[in-house]
Structure 1
Amino acid sequence: MKKLVGALVIILVVAAAGLAGAAYWSGRQAEHWYQESLAAAAKNPNIKFSTTYYHRGVFSSQAVTRVQFVMPEDQGSETPDPSFSVRQDIYHGPLPLAGWGVPGVAMGWTGGVVRVTLDPDSSAWTRALAKWYGHQEPLVIVSQIGFDGASDTRITMPPLTVSDVEDLQSLQFSGLQGQFQVTAGNAAAQGSLKMDSLDAVGKPVAATEGQPASGGAQIKLRDLAMTAKQHKGAFDLQFGDSNFTLGQLSVHEPGIETPLVVENLNVTGSVSQQSPQQVGGEVMMKAGKVTVEGQSGTGSLKLALRNLDGATVNQLEQWQQKAAGNTDDPQMLDELLKLVHVLLRGKPEFVLDSQATLSNGEWQGKLSLNFQDFGDVNLLQSPIGLLGALEKGLAELAISKGLLETALTDAIKEELKGQLTEQGQEASDQAVQTLAAQQATAQLKSVTDLGFVRLEGDRYRSTAKFEGGKLYVNDKEIPLTATVGEQDLGGDETTLEESGVDGGEDADAGDAATPKP
């Protein structure tokens, strides 16, 4: 019996020692994962991460990490600092000890669990969130860490409904859920994030001198989702695809008659390796419907960068990290210029393609630019030497007659209203509209007569081409040495006083009168 008891004691001691050793090793692994995460996050030059507290025990550790945003030097003191801190509870493995009792963590065989929450006292907005959520944690991030360093992370923000808080009359938030997986050594990552709805209504705006009372601002958001799938490839760059979708966004500001509405927005981005030496990327944006200031329509925009030297792109990323907050250093600028020269030797290409269909017409535009090394030109002494970086370019534009005339008239109208306000004068809306239409017609006639724009049927068209150091617009060469102002593109401008337009509400457009101050 004594031998059996002795054997059991030895077994228990060995098991305890083994378990303690495993927990210690797992703690070291979790600590190593934490340090790697900080190092990866530190690559962003606009955000600084620092550990303000770290305590490692046998079965668990605690840490507090400060997330400090680098604010622009010219940022006003009234702008709140969004920086904050997070608390991390690190549970050592192997499970079932790792994460024992941690909410949302299923039992399984893994190296450790890290649970991240906001430090409620770390900033003004975290204090506000903590107050709104009461005893519920506003944000919880749980990462399960494998023995090889791979991680599976879940992000949760619970639903929230509040009223009469701060500047908000009401707020309804459906909550947010996300999940991300990262393989060992950060070789690959994928994940998704989803939010069903957000409705916010601001408190009514009281009347002030010259400004009537109005309802509060309203923001409505539906069906937001993000996905990403990336992997580390050549040149130590991240390749892959990402996608952002938004079912609806509506923003209604006080004093504005019609809200800004965006429906069925889809944005996709990708970065890929084109050849053993070069990489490229593109972004595609499509909107099912956009309504702005009473105008609505659909549209798409595609932006692409191709033929980028992969090794140089990696060096540019490293330069950006070193130059953060140190852009005035002449040595950093010299390094940047050298990298730009190398990048341009690969003949990179930039393409911008856009199209839109609106209620009063259509728009189609395409811009293609091919670059080259501009040589040893001193840009400070001869800025025009930068044109040497452009090997060739092509810009094509086609826009409906009604759309261009309306857009130009509206722009001139807003400019005239601003001039009247500055001069302390008044004029009827009809008088301003009439003068704006006259000036728009004159400007379009001027650029058409000069050959910069052609009217073909119901569309205005223009083509600009740069090649061999020469610029052509609709096959007409434009001297690049001409100074600004030598070509009169605007037509004759007429003031309200000179226009012969009556400032009265019911006057005819042809009656001559000066707007009454």
Structure 2
Amino acid sequence: MIMKRFIALFVVLGAALMAAPGIIGFQVEKYYQGLMQQFAKGGVELVSQDYQRAWFGAESRTGFLVRIPGGADRSKTETLNFSLVSHIVHGPLTTEGVRLADIQSDIRVEGESLLPADYEAVIRTLIEIDGQGSTRIDLPASEIPASGQRPSIRFSGVEGEMRFDAAFEQVDARFTLPTLRLAQQSGQLLEIDGMQFDSHSRRDISGLMLGGGRFEIGRIGLRDEESGSRFEIRQLGIDAQSNASETAVSASVRYRLEELAVNETAYGPADIQLGVGNLSPKALLQVQQSIDEINAQQLSDEKKGMALLSVLMGNAPALLKGDPVVTIDKLSIQTPDGLITGKLSVQSVGLELKEIGNAPAVLNKLVADASLQMPKRLFMLLVQQKVEADLLRQFEQRRLIEPESEMPDTEQLKEMAATLADRQLSLLLGQEILLAQGDMIATQATLSGGLLSVNGKTIPLPQPPQ
């Protein structure tokens, strides 16, 4: 009798173990689809999903689309299609122990595997029984020869990990790439050294995902052997942070750069710190949810832009109600001509959406403080470039009306632009809107209560109709 009970127990346990993978498969599919949705929120479009679930595992292919601005004026859009192919093993028993699932993935670009078949890459996601999990990326150091559209690749290894909870309300990620070299037969060479990425985010009580992160690159180099041109960035860093109180959300980002060199011309160091505050958590949550819904739809760039504008306009009253503030807390850029420095703070106080089209009303409800100092030579160069572009557009428009009219050549256009730029600078200096300080020019302005003061001098502003 006892033996029969043991046999019955083993039969039940065996049946449970055999049935568990199939039952778990339904839960795993839900988590996997959630992972793909989170990936799509990172700036790519999810265009297709094919999930084939079996009893002990599943196969999935998810297609993504990246839109890349192109053309000289960045008005054109190029697209890159890639897919994530995953082989999924259902728990509860996996090679890594008791897990809900073990997922191994491969990235394919335009149908071709990004990495050779014999390369021992690890892109692995482990989901625990309670739903929390981690994705680990481990690409050992290797040299990969060029093949088809893929350039030759030489790097010292890539290592990274993302950890998440069951509801994707807490996500931590880190990523390191010590060295990467990409070379093409055309002679173009891309070099990246010391790339690091760390981020942490939590869902706040308001429902917003808030947190911070740091992205650093020791060096980026781009060289074209054929033309001899060189572009290099050293010690690039981006730090971001967001937080919330009961009534407002604030965020800040800092961009820092040791040096940017284009051939023999070098810029840097540079340090720019931006901030935004007094934003309604409820309104931001609605904006965030609406943007997620828009990104989930396969819309054209034009329709997506219109949808985003509609979302912002719909939430503008709530955003304005908190008297939002935008700041440039620090602007410091070293150029070959000298140092650019500046600060800016702009806040709306009591501004309503219905007043946006009324310039005098808007100015009356803005509080602003700004200062800027930069090399005179650089200022003149920027003004001259703008004037030259304006002149060229005017001559082209005139020729449409009068086909026989003459167009100035390049040198004539530059001379005309230089003359007009000199006049504009003299006018601004004469009105004391700009102040000359040796080889530098500077200005400082404040706006409050509808009164604009520039370098201590009050400037008349348009008044609202009585």
Distance 1:71 1:359 in 2: 31
Measured at CA, do residues 158 and 12 of structure 1 come closer, stay the same or move farther in structure 2, by a change above 3 Å? same
1:368 equivalent among 340, 345, 348:
345
Tell me the amino acid that sits aligned with residue 165 of structure 2: T
Question: Which residue of 1 is the match for residue 327 of structure 2?
Answer: 351
1:399 aligns with 2:369: no
Note closer, same or farther for the CA distance 1:26–1:335 as it changes in structure 2 (3 Å cut).
closer
SS at match of 1:451: coil
Please, what is the CA RMSD of the aligned residues? 4.0
Q: Distance in 2 between matches of 1:13 and 1:371?
A: 72
Structure 2 residue 121 is matched with structure 1 residue 145: no
- Taking the aligned partners of 2:105 and 2:352, their CA distance within structure 1 comes to 51
Q: Is the contact between residue 235 and residue 259 of structure 2 (CA under 8 Å) also seen in structure 1?
A: yes
1:459 paired with 2:458, answer no
Equivalent position SS for 1:234: coil
What is the aligned partner in structure 1 of residue 257 from structure 2? 287
Question: Does structure 2 conserve the Cα–Cα contact (< 8 Å) formed by 1:167 and 1:202?
Answer: no
Aligned-pair distance for 1:79? 6.0
Whichever residue aligns with residue 356 of structure 1, its letter is: I
Change (3 A) 1:327 1:29: closer
> What's 1:485 paired with?
none
Pair 329,446 (structure 1): closer, same or farther in 2 beyond 3 Å: closer
Q: Which amino acid aligns with 2:205?
A: A
Q: Name the aligned partner's letter for residue 278 of structure 2.
A: N
Superposition deviation, residue 230 in structure 1: 1.5
Match of 1:135 in 2: 118
Over alpha carbons, which structure has the higher Rg? 1
Distance verdict in 2 for CA 1:456–1:80, change over 3 Å: closer
Alpha-carbon distance in 1 for matches of 2:349, 2:304: 25
Tell me whether 365-374 or 333-342 shows the greater mean CA deviation. Answer: 333-342
Which residue pairs with 2:89 in the alignment? 91
Matches within 5 A, 1:240-259: 240-253=211-224, 259=230
Which amino acid in structure 2 is aligned with residue 244 of structure 1?
Answer: F
Going from structure 1 to structure 2, the CA distance change for 1:292 and 1:255 (only over 3 Å counts) comes to same
1:290-309 correspondence runs (5 A): 290-292=260-262, 294-309=265-280
The answer to whether the 8 A contact 2:68-2:77 is kept is no
AA aligned to 1:288 is E
Q: How far 1:18 moved relative to its partner? A: 2.8
| Preserved contact between residue 361 and residue 402 of structure 1 (Cα < 8 Å) | no
Amino acid at match of 1:32: K
Report the Cα offset of residue 322 of structure 1: 4.0
Equivalent residue letter for 2:333: A
In structure 2, the CA distance between the partners of 1:392 and 1:49, relative to structure 1 (3 Å rule), is: same
> How far did 1:196 drift?
1.6
State the one-letter code of the partner of 2:200: K
Q: 1:191, CA displacement in angstroms?
A: 1.7
Larger strand proportion of the pair: 2
TM-aligned CA deviation for residue 83 of structure 1: 2.5
Corresponding residue of 1:185: 167
Determine the structure 2 residue equivalent to 1:197: 179
Whether the 8 Å CA contact 2:131–2:165 is kept in 1: the answer is yes
Q: Aligned residue for 1:221? A: 192
Q: Does the 8 A contact of 1:114 with 1:142 survive in 2?
A: yes
Task: Output the amino acid matched with 2:285.
Answer: N
1:463–1:473: 8 Å Cα contact kept in structure 2?
yes
Give the match for residue 316 of structure 1.
Answer: 287
Query: What is the aligned partner in structure 2 of residue 506 from structure 1?
Result: none
Q: Secondary structure at the match of 1:186?
A: coil
Q: Percent identity?
A: 22
What CA deviation, in whole Å up to 9, does each residue of 1:199-226 have, x standing for no partner? 233334xxxxxxxxxxx33322111110
Counterpart check, 1:174 vs 2:150:
no
> What letter matches 1:245 in structure 2?
E
Moved more, 238-247 or 18-27: 18-27
Q: Give TM-score, length-normalised by structure 2.
A: 0.80
Q: 1:171 to 1:45 in 2, by over 3 A?
A: closer
What amino acid is aligned across from residue 16 of structure 2 in structure 1? G
Cα 1:38–1:402 shift into 2, 3 Å:
closer
Question: 1 CA distance for matches of 2:231 and 2:386?
Answer: 18
Tell me the SS of whatever aligns to 2:246. Answer: coil
**For 1:17, what is the secondary structure of its paired residue?**
helix
Distance in 2, matches of 1:245 and 1:203, equals 29
Alpha-carbon distance between aligned partners in 1 of 2:24 and 2:146, rounded to the nearest angstrom: 47
Q: Distance in 2 between matches of 1:355 and 1:467?
A: 26
Where structure 2 has 5 or more consecutive residues not aligned to the other structure, the ranges are 395-405
Q: Secondary structure at the match of 1:354?
A: strand
Task: Report the CA distance between 1:250 and its aligned residue.
Answer: 1.5
Q: CA deviation at 1:85?
A: 2.4
Which residue in the other structure is 2:362 paired with?
387
3-state SS in 2 of match to 1:54:
strand
TM-aligned CA distance change 1:323 to 1:49, over 3 Å: closer
Distance in 1 (alpha carbons) for counterparts of 2:272 and 2:305: 35
* Distance 1:280-1:27 versus aligned 2 partners, 3 A rule: same
Matched, 1:47 2:70: no
Cα shift at 1:42: 5.7
Distance in 1, Cα, partners of 2:17 & 2:208: 39
Q: Separation in 2 of the partners of 1:354 and 1:426? A: 34
SS of match in other structure, 2:269: strand
**Measured at CA, do residues 153 and 341 of structure 1 come closer, stay the same or move farther in structure 2, by a change above 3 Å?**
same
Question: Residues 41-79 of structure 1: CA distance to partner in whole angstroms, max 9, x if unpaired?
Answer: 56568522543232231x32222223245789x999x96
Q: Distance in 1 between matches of 2:105 and 2:113?
A: 18
1:510 match = none
Return the alpha-carbon distance in structure 2 between the equivalents of residues 61 and 328 of structure 1: 37
Structure 1 residues 418, 47: closer, same or farther in 2, change over 3 A? same
2:455 partner letter: N
Partner amino acid, structure 2, of 1:314: L
Look up the match of 1:63: 60
2:204 to 223, 233, 245: 233
